[in-house]
Amino acid sequence: MALKHILASSLLLAVAAAPAAAFELRSPDIPPGGGPIDEASVYDGFGCKGGNLSPALTWRDAPPGTKSFAILVHDPDAPTGGAGFWHWVVYDIPAFVTGLPQGAGTQYGATLPKGAKQVATDFGAPGYGGPCPPKGDKPHHYNFTVYALKVERLDLPPHATASVAGFMINANALGRASLTGTYGR
């Protein structure tokens, strides 16, 4: 009987000590390891001629207690005096959602999950705005980050900026997962 309890206790300890799977973000539209972003996801304007479709994104193994998700897309290489450039901010994505299809980031968010909201990007409108770095610049890095949040809804004002949204997202984050694509012209 004692051996049975020791084995059961050992099994429970081994399960409890097993590392949790890492929160992970993937995209079939962005090569792993920071490869180039496809023309379908490049901005259509400012001299760029892309499809301006947000890439498909999937995530898994969110931290326990996750009540919603948010996605931020940022170009830290943009020549903006150090602020970078916000390409997409979407939040209040329900906790049961594990991905968004390609093209979900339209200006009006018609194909986003019910309840999800977007704020204006540095292009001046809500929705995904693809890469379009200055011609001749080195390739820029585009950081796609999904945040697991401890709240179902963020309390953001109707015309919140991307920076205010980013602040509130980070303040409520349980975890995050990122991937980076590049684009130059």
| Residue-by-residue pLDDT tens, the chain, 185 positions | 544 443 344 434 444 455 668 999 999 999 888 789 999 999 999 999 999 999 999 999 999 999 999 999 999 999 999 999 999 999 999 999 999 999 999 999 999 999 999 999 999 999 999 999 999 999 999 999 999 999 999 999 989 999 999 999 999 999 999 999 999 99
Model pLDDT, residue 20: 66
Query: What's the length of the chain?
Result: 185
Model pLDDT, residue 19: 60
Entry pTM:
0.88
Model pLDDT, residue 54: 98
Q: Roughly how many angstroms between the first and final C-alpha of the chain, as a whole number?
A: 71
Model pLDDT, residue 128: 98
The CA distance from 48 to 135, in Å, is 9
pLDDT per residue over 48-99, tens digit each?
Answer: 999 999 999 999 999 999 999 999 999 999 999 999 999 999 999 999 999 9
Q: What is the dihedral of CA 168, 127, 141, 173, to 10 degrees?
A: 20
Helical residues (DSSP H) of 24-120, grouped into ranges? none
Query: Beta-carbon neighbour count of residue 116 at 10 Å?
Result: 20
Structure tokens at 42: 């490049």
Structure tokens at 87: 């390409």
Q: How far is CA 131 from CA 31, 40, 42, 124, 147, in A?
A: 15, 10, 5, 15, 21
- In sequence order, the 6+-apart residues with CB closer than 8 A to the CB of 176 are 23, 145, 146, 147, 148
Model pLDDT, residue 18: 52
Q: How far is CA 48 from CA 4, 21, 148, in A?
A: 68, 39, 33
Q: What is the dihedral of CA 142, 168, 117, 74, to 10 degrees?
A: -10
Model pLDDT, residue 21: 82
